[in-house]
Amino acid sequence: MTAPWGALIDRRPWLALAVAILTVTALRLVSLSLAATDLYVDEAQYWSWAQQPAWGYYSKPPLIAWLIGLSQSVCGTGEACVRTPSTLAWAVTAGAVAGVGSALYGRPIGFWAGLSALLAPGAAYSARIISTDAPLLAFWSLALLAFVRLRAGGGWRWGVLLAAGLGLGLLSKYAMAWFPGCLLLAALADPASRRALARPPVWGGVLAGALMLAPNLTWQAAHGLATLKHTARNASGNGGPGLDDGFAFVAAQFALAGPVIFAAACAAIWLWARGRLTEPEDRLLLVFSAPILLLLIAMAFVTRANANWAATGLVAVFVLGPALLLRWRRRGWLIGGLAFGLIVQIALPLADAHAWNLTVGGRPVFERTLGWRQFGAAVVDRAHAVRADVIVAERRRDASALLYYARDQSLRIAAWPAPDQGPQDHFQMDRPLTAIAARNRVVLAVAACPGAGRFAGWARVSDLGELTAPAGVGAVRQWRLYRLEGPPPVVRSPPPCP
Q: Are residues 308 and 447 in the same domain?
A: no
pLDDT along the chain (498 residues), means of 10: 58 88 98 97 97 95 98 97 98 98 96 98 98 98 98 96 98 97 95 95 97 96 88 66 76 96 96 90 97 94 89 98 96 96 97 96 94 97 96 96 95 93 90 91 96 95 97 95 96 92
Residue 361's φ and ψ, nearest 5 degrees, are: 65, 30
Q: Does 290 fall in a domain?
A: yes
* pLDDT value of position 242: 53
Q: Do 65 and 54 contact (CB within 8 A), yes or no? A: yes
- Please tell me the distance from the alpha carbon of residue 414 to that of residue 300, in angstroms, as a whole number: 36
Q: Are residues 408 and 285 in the same domain?
A: no
Radius of gyration in angstroms for the set of CA atoms belonging to the chain, rounded to a whole number: 25
Q: Do 102 and 146 contact (CB within 8 A), yes or no? A: no
Q: Are residues 377 and 349 in the same domain?
A: no
Q: Does 307 fall in a domain?
A: yes
Q: Does 492 fall in a domain?
A: no
In angstroms, how far apart are the furthest CA atoms of the chain? 79
Q: Are residues 176 and 254 in the same domain?
A: yes
* pLDDT value of position 7: 58
Which helix (DSSP H) or strand (DSSP E) does residue 496 occupy?
none
Q: Are residues 155 and 301 in the same domain?
A: yes
- Please tell me the distance from the alpha carbon of residue 174 to that of residue 229, in angstroms, as a whole number: 12
Q: Do 21 and 94 contact (CB within 8 A), yes or no? A: yes
Q: Does 373 fall in a domain?
A: yes
Q: Does 358 fall in a domain?
A: no
- Please tell me the distance from the alpha carbon of residue 125 to that of residue 368, in angstroms, as a whole number: 15
Residue where a domain stops, chosen among 353, 376, 411: 353
* pLDDT value of position 200: 96
* pLDDT value of position 420: 82
Q: Are residues 316 and 418 in the same domain?
A: no
Q: Does 325 fall in a domain?
A: yes
* pLDDT value of position 295: 95
* pLDDT value of position 4: 59
As beta bridge partners, residue 463 has: 482
Q: Are residues 111 and 148 in the same domain?
A: yes
Q: Tell me if residue 431 falls in helix, strand or coil.
A: coil
Interior CA angle at 373 toward 370 and 374, to 5°?
Answer: 90
- Please tell me the distance from the alpha carbon of residue 44 to that of residue 50, in angstroms, as a whole number: 10
Q: Are residues 333 and 383 in the same domain?
A: no
Q: Do 119 and 253 contact (CB within 8 A), yes or no? A: no
Q: Are residues 449 and 336 in the same domain?
A: no
Residue 153 neighbours by CB distance under 10 Å: 11
Total of domains in the chain: 2
* pLDDT value of position 244: 65
Burial class (CB in 10 A: 0-12, 13-18, 19+), 227: buried
* Residues constituting the chain: 498
* pLDDT value of position 3: 53
* pLDDT value of position 12: 81
Interior CA angle at 233 toward 228 and 237, to 5°?
Answer: 145
Interior CA angle at 319 toward 117 and 300, to 5°?
Answer: 75
Give every CB contact of residue 151 below 8 A, 6+ residues apart in sequence.
192, 193, 196, 284
Q: Are residues 230 and 302 in the same domain?
A: yes
* pLDDT value of position 317: 98
Q: Which domain holds residue 316?
A: 3-353
Give every CB contact of residue 193 below 8 A, 6+ residues apart in sequence.
147, 151, 183, 186, 187, 284, 287
Give every CB contact of residue 81 below 8 A, 6+ residues apart in sequence.
71, 72, 74, 75
Q: Are residues 242 and 375 in the same domain?
A: no
Q: Are residues 274 and 239 in the same domain?
A: yes
Q: Does 490 fall in a domain?
A: no
Q: Does 497 fall in a domain?
A: no
